[in-house]
Chains A and B, each alone.
Chain A
Amino acid sequence: MFDPLWKLALGLLTGMVFGLLLQKGRVAKFHVIVNQFLFRDWTVVKIMGTAVVVGAIGIYALLPTGAVSLHIKPLVWLGIVAGGLCFGAGMAIFGYCPGTSVAACGEGRRDAMVGVIGMLLGAGLYVVLYPQLSGLLKTWGDAGKVTLPEWSGTSPWLWIGVVCFGALAAFAVFDRSWGDTSPRLHKDTRQRHGAS
């Protein structure tokens, strides 16, 4: 039921750094998440894109040394498609994703605290329905734990190169639209104070 103590402590430490980064990155805020989907604020894409590029380079560089191993999630077609649809709709309505809603609770956001209860209910529903769901998910097929380089028979570095290039191109194109995020934050703060 419990991991060894060193592993629990390690998880807590890693989580604290993660929470600090999410809060500092301003993604624990409703308007930052929703405005990303409305193309008014590019913070989420910026942070996720950079994390993926930096993470990919490190993990694939460390892989031959044996210091790390891959943990690929299986491509269960129905699960990924239906899950993606539910997740996207739920996230846009809620205004936080699972990790950032926990960070939002730390910031004092009360709607995110209620959301955490909702997430426990959603997870509980999945557990209760698991016997039916696991049968249903199998009917659409499972492509297994496949990576893009394996699937295409190419080098992972080719893919990392493409992702890197895509990120740099996006930075160059969207650079202008990022300048206005701080005045918006300021305005948001002022408005809240005015309302309270």
Chain B
Amino acid sequence: MVGVGIGVLSWFAFWSADHPLGITTAFEHTSALVLKAAVPGLSESNSYYQDESPKIGWEWMLVLGVFVGSIISSFTSGDREPVTVPPLWKRRFGSSVPRRLTVALLGAGLMMFGARLAQGCTSGHGISGNLQLAASSWLFSIIFFSTAILTAFAVYGRTRNV
């Protein structure tokens, strides 16, 4: 049912804003704007700023909306999970908080770098791109899913289910 909802929501996004659902462009634009403010002269020396125009737009508000929507949903259903070290992680790597947070930081960074290389993520390619039958998105989805399966078995494969 949630899948149906996301499918219908994607019709709405295409129709109302002429935009596919996507998350990572907003991250790229935020970082680009912060870098531009922090490093004067970067926007002249780096060709990124000639090719792209980072902004606070529809996609930025979409990400903010996901955060707000999830807060509302988790409070109304009582499904709050204020955890730092997820149980499955704890079973494999122990309860060290610095270890989990360091790996989360690096893993998330690697993931986002990959998303920007490919110009999309699970939402932009995996849902929005695949539903448009984009060749790039199907190829990306097959590669990322296979890699994630291999990585997950290598990293967590020895843990019992929790």
Contacts and interface: CB of A to CB of B under 8 A. Distances in A.
Nearest to B145: A88
A19 B23 CA distance: 11
Interface residues on B, range: 35 or more
B116 A58 contact: no
B131 A55 contact: yes
Contact of A123 (B31, B140, B153): B31
B67 A105 contact: yes
Nearest to A90: B111
A134 B65 CA distance: 31
Given A3-B55, A11-B65, A73-B129, A51 B3 contact: yes
Interface in A1-47: 1-3, 7-25, 28-31, 34-35, 37-40, 46-47
A37 B150 CA distance: 8
The winner among B5, B8, B51 for most chain A CB atoms within 10 A is B5
A47 B74 contact: no
Contacts of B56: 1-3, 8
A72 B140 CA distance: 13
B130 to A, nearest CB: 5
Contact of B104 (A23, A57, A94): A94
Interface string B4-27: 111111111111111111011001
Interface of A: 1-3, 7-25, 28-31, 34-35, 37-40, 46-59, 62, 67-76, 79-112, 114-128, 130-131, 133-134, 137, 143, 145-149, 151, 156, 159-160, 184, 187-188, 191-192, 195
Given A23-B79, A71-B14, 11 more contacts: A14-B62, A47-B3, A87-B140, A90-B107, A98-B27, A98-B122, A101-B108, A107-B81, A108-B80, A109-B86, A137-B117
Interface of B: 2-21, 23-24, 27-28, 30-35, 46-48, 51, 55-74, 77, 79-90, 95, 100-101, 103-153, 155-157, 161-162
